[in-house]
Amino acid sequence: MLKNSEVNISTVKKILFAALVSGVIFLLYAGDLNRYLSFSYARASLEQLLLLYDNHGAAFIAAFAAAYTIITALSIPAATVMTLLAGAIFGLFPGVVVVSFASSAGATLACAAARYVLRDWVQARFREKLAPVNEGVEREGVLYLFALRLVPAAPFFVVNAAMGITRMPLFKFYWVSQLGMLPLTLLYVNAGRELSRIDSPAGILSPGLMITLVLAGVFPIAAKRVLAAYRAKKRP
């Protein structure tokens, strides 16, 4: 009886948590607050934000990092705009540091939230189908996650949620995400230094650069499998 009661309380907590997050996101869009996270608004507000940074320094950096973390944790599609703003306001090195840690922290919170709300149900409902996924993550999850972070083929919030239903430790998720997202962070922060000249964030990733990122992401996994196959053949 006690166990059933504990399960029910846990389920209610998860439902309330999911409802709270959904409510915050709904209010953001219903109140048209998402326009403050648009590319056009970022360009138009750049001078004011620079003035705030000049006047408040460390406090502004802390507020920006906190906002970035919350936006990422709630899976609000504004990380690209925030990254460009970081480059425009802070410059290359400070901007990369702020974005790298804030984006990784936010992604980890999103992963933890998905794990808290969904993992038990998904793992129980699709245990057999997820068994190969869990084994794959345990076997080469670091390289797999690194490739997903390096290649912007899947939206990052999808990666966060997908990894949330696996058994990958959160600390491992954090540092692999931070390392894997670093090249794109450098690219977008550097581009942000010329924010006033950028017409759209879509033009930053050229086809050639995308191919390079795909090859860089796939290479470690391919190399590991080739090496494993070679070692298997060498065994008596």
Residues 18-61: tens digit of each pLDDT: 565 565 555 555 555 566 677 788 888 889 999 999 999 999 99
- 52 in any annotated domain: yes
Task: Supply the range of the domain harboring residue 53.
Answer: 32-234
- 4 in any annotated domain: no
| Whole-number pLDDT of residue 39 | 79
- 22 in any annotated domain: no
- 161 in any annotated domain: yes
Quickly list DSSP for 3-43.
HHHHHHHHHHHHHHHHHHHHHHHHHHHHTTGGGGGSHHHHH
- 71 in any annotated domain: yes
| Whole-number pLDDT of residue 235 | 59
Give mean pLDDT, residues 78-106: 93
Q: Are 88 and 53 in contact (CB under 8 A)?
A: no
Report the chain's terminal Cα–Cα distance, integer Å.
57
How much is the pTM?
A: 0.76
Q: Into how many domains does the chain fold?
A: 1
| Whole-number pLDDT of residue 52 | 93
Q: Note the pLDDT tens digit of each residue in 186-219.
A: 888 988 888 767 766 665 655 555 565 666 556 5
With 60 as the cut, is the pLDDT of residue 150 above it?
Answer: yes
- 12 in any annotated domain: no
Q: Are 176 and 146 in contact (CB under 8 A)?
A: yes
- 78 in any annotated domain: yes
Give percent of the chain above pLDDT 70. 58
